[in-house]
Amino acid sequence: MRITGYRTLTTVHDWGRPIGDANGVVGSGKTSVPVVVLTTDVGLEGIGLGSHEGIDTLFPALDGQDPRAVVALYDRMLAWVFKRGHAGAVFGAIGALDMALWDLKAKAVEQPLWRLLGARDHVVPAYASGLDGPLADDELVRLHKQFAERGLQAAKLKGGLDVAADLRRLDVLSELYRDETGQTPALMLDANESWSRKEAVRHIRRIEEHVDLAWVEEPVRRWDVDGLGMVTRAVKAAVATGENLTGLEQFRPLVAANAVDIVQTGSVWGITHFLRVSALAHAFDLPISPVGYDANPLGHAAAVVPNHLSIEIQDLAPPVGIGADQEITDGHLVLGESPGLGYTLDEDAVARLGEAGSWDDDAGPHVRPDRAGRRLVGKPAIRSGRWETQE
């Protein structure tokens, strides 16, 4: 079997609600989902989700190769761009191609990827996280009620701008999950790198006077080894980070300095990256928790690593035109028996889309606000679609 080509398309995830965090908001609730399809000379096709940036440069590293040599081809792609740099969106393209390669490898032997990787079970612990920053309390309840009805007993809240609002919203979630599940939920808070070091400690300590947080996510900048270490020593909650780090070389300083308690990887960076970071974390007895993405592509890999904690579930529906052989029930992501990642792609449905989604407009969460880490008053207000501060 040889790789013969690729094609790309972009579909849309309609969240049915505004989504965002401390950095910004996608008010339309419609975001783009790039898809890559690798083709082979035997008719099998592999599906990957993630960035298209640099795929035309990366594909010659795969052209004519046997896709079953996934790990070697992953390193070959890294080598192909070592002078230009592999981080950012290009690393996302490597991740998307890596997903497609793993999909092909499992389809070639007609097995679901979780079984090919050696997992004993196809049931993966999960937690709820709805990118719920801009939601009013009643909207927050409606969203998380759906998660609780699927048996999820842990939930992550977007916050970081207003301590009083975070405390109120955490109480809302705690009461909802207790009522729906009969259990006290595990609660997490995600600040998305919006604090300075001392802001982080002050904010978290005030919350911890009232709420037992399981973890706080990205309290300071992703690369701030000293700052992350300071925060984890100053608060009771675990510090989780890593979703925006690209490559083992970026994780190694954090792990070596005891600056992270729960290691995370972004789903868009691919399966091989997740497996390697998981092994690094396991060597230091650290748990790993993959950050969510459309159709949960890291679920299969999470099923096999011994230090997996819980996978993030951001929504209950897949993007337009993508089917996934999985379900969320009894607090878990349950993977099916379909070969590969279990994805199907309806390209006609994608072609019929009348509008595009976006992550990258200037009011969205992928654009860092000017005042991030430099706020005296953190009460959020909507200005031109972006959360700002009333100072």
pLDDT per residue as tens digits for the range 152-166: 999 999 999 999 999
- Dihedral, CA of residue 273, residue 46, residue 308 and residue 174, to nearest 10: 110
Residue 93 pLDDT level (bands cut at 50, 70, 90): very high
Of 333-337, 355-359, 379-383, the range with the lowest mean pLDDT is 379-383
Is residue 67 within 8 A of residue 40, CB to CB? The reply is: yes
97-125 mean pLDDT: 98
Residue 386 pLDDT greater than 70, yes or no: no
Of 63-72, 317-326, 337-346, 370-379, the range with the lowest mean pLDDT is 370-379
Helix 137-149 to helix 163-181 angle (10° resolution) is: 30
CB atoms within 10 A of CB 79: 11
- H-run or E-run covering 266: strand 262-266
Is residue 341 within 8 A of residue 116, CB to CB? The reply is: no
CA distances from 102 to 78, 342, 391 (A): 16, 11, 50
Length of the chain in terms of residues written: 391
The residues, any chain, with a CB within 8 Å of residue 223's CB and separated by 6 or more, are: 245, 250
Domain boundaries, the chain: 3-111, 114-351
Of 63-77, 219-233, 288-302, 362-376, the range with the lowest mean pLDDT is 362-376
Is residue 106 within 8 A of residue 122, CB to CB? The reply is: no
Residue 171 pLDDT level (bands cut at 50, 70, 90): very high
What pLDDT shows up at residue 378? 65
Identify the architecture of domain 3-111 in CATH. Answer: 2-Layer Sandwich (3.30)
Residue 225 pLDDT greater than 60, yes or no: yes
What pLDDT shows up at residue 379? 55
Q: Residue 178 is encoded by which pair of tokens?
A: 């207790």
Average pLDDT, the chain: 94
Residue 354 pLDDT greater than 90, yes or no: no
Whole-number Å distance between alpha carbons of 66 and 3: 6
Residue 266 pLDDT greater than 50, yes or no: yes
CATH 3.20.20.120 assigned to domain 114-351? The reply is yes
Residue 383 pLDDT greater than 70, yes or no: no
Q: How far is CA 287 from the centre of its chain?
A: 16
β pairing state of 326-329 and 332-335: antiparallel
45-60 mean pLDDT: 96
Residue 84 pLDDT level (bands cut at 50, 70, 90): confident
- H-run or E-run covering 216: strand 213-217
338-348 mean pLDDT: 97
What pLDDT shows up at residue 183? 93
| H-state helical runs in the chain | 55-58, 70-80, 88-108, 113-116, 137-149, 163-181, 197-208, 225-234, 248-256, 271-283, 299-302, 347-351
78 versus 379: the higher-pLDDT residue is 78
Residue 247 DSSP label: S
Q: Whole-model pTM?
A: 0.94
Residue 385 pLDDT greater than 60, yes or no: no
> For 118-149, what is each residue's pLDDT tens digit?
999 999 999 999 999 999 999 999 999 999 99
Q: Of 43, 50, 62, 41, give the one whose Cα is nearest residue 8.
A: 50
